[in-house]
Structure 1
Amino acid sequence: MNFWKKVTGSDMKKEFQAFEQRVQKLPADYQAAWEQINTNLWAHSDFTGRNLMPVFDGVLGLLEETAAEGQSVGEALGGDIKGFCLAVAGDEGTPTYRDKWRAQLNNNIARKLGK
């Protein structure tokens, strides 16, 4: 990957534009579910969000397949989209980027205080 693209994130922008084009082809209820999934998964990203790109691709593929089969969003994802996102991102209790930063900050302060 080109260094400049990695720094600016332009490669991720192109991927998300491709995701959005794929989402536009889905039924309206699937598009609404995608928005909720998109919102809930970002809490489990690293600083850049690159770790979520394969996850987003896989989830969107699942939505496309279930829509093609004629299933409803509830049948495909269950009733709890936030729970689905937790399952996709990892086990419940998986630390988010906020948790990681909080732990790092606490460790730095404890080290400075000599504990």
Structure 2
Amino acid sequence: MNIWQTITGSDLTREWKAFEARAAALPADYRAAWEQVKGHLFPYGDFTGRNLLPILDSALALLEETAADGQPVREVLGDDIKGFCVALAGGEGARTYRDRWREQLNRNVARELARLGG
């Protein structure tokens, strides 16, 4: 990846289109599960979502393999897709982008208060 791709995000667009093309080949119940997986993982992404690409790639590969084996999607992901995604993202208590932004805001406010008060 070069600097231009990083700035424009063209590498992300290319990878995202590849993910969606792979997902389109899945059976309908697996495509629905893929949509849920994406929705539950997005809060764990950074500003660009680049950190989620390996996780999404692994999740999609799991769906592809198990669909090819003919396993029901519920057997693969269970009934708690959100819990499955939390485990993929690093377990309960994993920091979301909201947590990181809240910490940054608190640091900035504390720095400004210290500057004004002292």
TM-score (normalised: structure 2): 0.93
User: Which residue matches 1:74?
Assistant: 74
- In 1, the alpha carbon distance for the partners of 2:105 and 2:24 equals 41
User: Which residue matches 2:112?
Assistant: 112
Code of the residue aligned with 2:25 in structure 1: it is K
TM-score (normalised: structure 1): 0.95
- In 1, the alpha carbon distance for the partners of 2:111 and 2:10 equals 38
User: Which residue matches 1:48?
Assistant: 48
- In 2, the alpha carbon distance for the partners of 1:100 and 1:17 equals 28
- In 2, the alpha carbon distance for the partners of 1:98 and 1:42 equals 11
User: Which residue matches 2:64?
Assistant: 64
Larger Rg: 2
User: Which residue matches 2:37?
Assistant: 37
Percent of counterpart pairs with the same letter?
61
Q: Secondary structure at the match of 2:82?
A: helix
Code of the residue aligned with 1:79 in structure 2: it is D
Q: Return 5+ residue gaps in structure 2 as ranges.
A: none
1:108 shift after superposition = 1.4
